[in-house]
């Protein structure tokens, strides 16, 4: 099949720079905190699937694939974001292997929590600034200690905070990196195939794993028909 650089530009400009970015901005302005948080986390997963060519097959891995393009602080948080389960008497619950039951990570606690339970797993809040300001001193997720003087301290000594504006800023930067990499890889493959700008590439001429994944996803979209 013949591949065009315009395929990349059209998809991103229409669906990501257009629909996704516009919808998120509108929801931030409308103070739809939890809608924004869920959408951003879901679109993080979608973007990973798009570049891997595995739409709908590996949700957690897709999420992590996009997170690689986020600031390194997000990946550093992975092992710090942990919850443990206890019964009503405060005794640790065990998993099927007899170990203390725990969950961790942004995908499991934030994305899956909001998608399947409405809440972040563990004590958490979603912070949204409707004027669009994103604080450059922080990323979109924070693990914060609770003061012993606060009533919440009886429930948990720590809490999660999801900052919609800061996460959206970092999501946009990740999208821009991926978009640039796709275009640069297309140019590199054109050069490798000894072709000039504006020409098409065949599947056999694609060397970039990023491009192969992207076009595989586009093929998946076009293969679906309602019957």
Q: Is residue 186 part of a domain?
A: no
Q: Is residue 15 part of a domain?
A: yes
Q: Is residue 208 part of a domain?
A: no
Among candidate residues 168, 128, 172, the one with its CA nearest the CA of residue 29 = 128
Q: Is residue 78 part of a domain?
A: yes
Alpha helices by DSSP H, listed for the chain, are: 5-11, 21-29, 33-52, 59-67, 72-76, 106, 112-117, 164-192, 209-223
If 0-12 CB within 10 Å is exposed, 13-18 middle and 19+ buried, where does residue 90 land? exposed
Among candidate residues 138, 174, 107, 140, the one with its CA nearest the CA of residue 33 = 140
The total of other beta-carbon atoms located within 10 Å of residue 165's CB is 20
Among candidate residues 103, 104, 114, the one with its CA nearest the CA of residue 41 = 114
- Contact yes or no for 152/140 (Cβ under 8 A): no
Q: Is residue 165 part of a domain?
A: yes
Q: Is residue 183 part of a domain?
A: no
Domain with 90, as residue range(s), is 2-174
Whole-number Cα distances in Å, 55 to 62, 174, 203, 217: 9, 19, 19, 6
Whole-number Cα distances in Å, 209 to 35, 161, 171: 33, 35, 21
| Domain count within the chain | 1
Residues 6+ away with beta carbon under 8 Å from 73:
139
> Structure tokens of 104?
């961790």
pLDDT in tens, the chain (227 residues): 899 999 999 999 999 999 999 999 999 999 999 999 999 999 999 999 999 998 777 889 999 999 999 999 999 888 899 999 999 998 999 999 999 999 999 999 999 999 999 999 999 999 999 998 999 999 999 999 999 999 889 888 999 999 999 999 999 999 999 999 999 999 999 999 998 878 899 999 999 999 999 999 999 999 999 99
Q: Is residue 202 part of a domain?
A: no
> Structure tokens of 91?
């005794």
Is residue 82 within a helix (H) or strand (E), and if so which, with residue range?
Answer: strand 82-84
Residue 144 is predicted with a pLDDT of 93
Q: Is residue 74 part of a domain?
A: yes
């Amino acid at each position: 099949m013949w591949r065009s650089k315009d395929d990349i530009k059209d998809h991103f400009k229409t669906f990501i720079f257009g629909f996704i970015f516009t919808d998120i901005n509108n929801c931030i302005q409308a103070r739809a905190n939890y809608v924004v948080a869920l959408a951003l986390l879901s679109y993080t997963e979608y973007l990973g699937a798009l570049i891997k060519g595995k739409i709908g097959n590996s949700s957690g891995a897709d999420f992590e694939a996009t997170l690689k393009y986020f600031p390194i602080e997000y990946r550093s948080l992975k092992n710090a974001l942990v919850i443990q389960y206890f019964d009503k008497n405060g005794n640790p619950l065990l998993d099927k292997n007899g170990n203390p039951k725990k969950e961790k990570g942004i995908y499991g606690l934030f994305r899956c929590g909001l998608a399947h339970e409405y809440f972040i797993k563990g004590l958490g809040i979603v912070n949204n600034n409707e004027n669009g300001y994103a604080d450059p001193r922080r990323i979109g997720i924070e693990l914060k200690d609770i003061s012993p003087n606060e009533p919440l301290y009886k429930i948990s000594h720590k809490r999660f905070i999801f900052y919609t504006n800061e996460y959206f800023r970092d999501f946009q930067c990740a999208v821009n990196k991926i978009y640039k990499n796709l275009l640069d890889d297309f140019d590199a493959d054109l050069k490798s195939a000894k072709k000039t700008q504006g020409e098409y590439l065949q599947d056999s001429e694609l060397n970039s794993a990023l491009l192969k994944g992207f076009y595989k996803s586009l093929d998946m979209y076009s293969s679906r028909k309602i019957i």
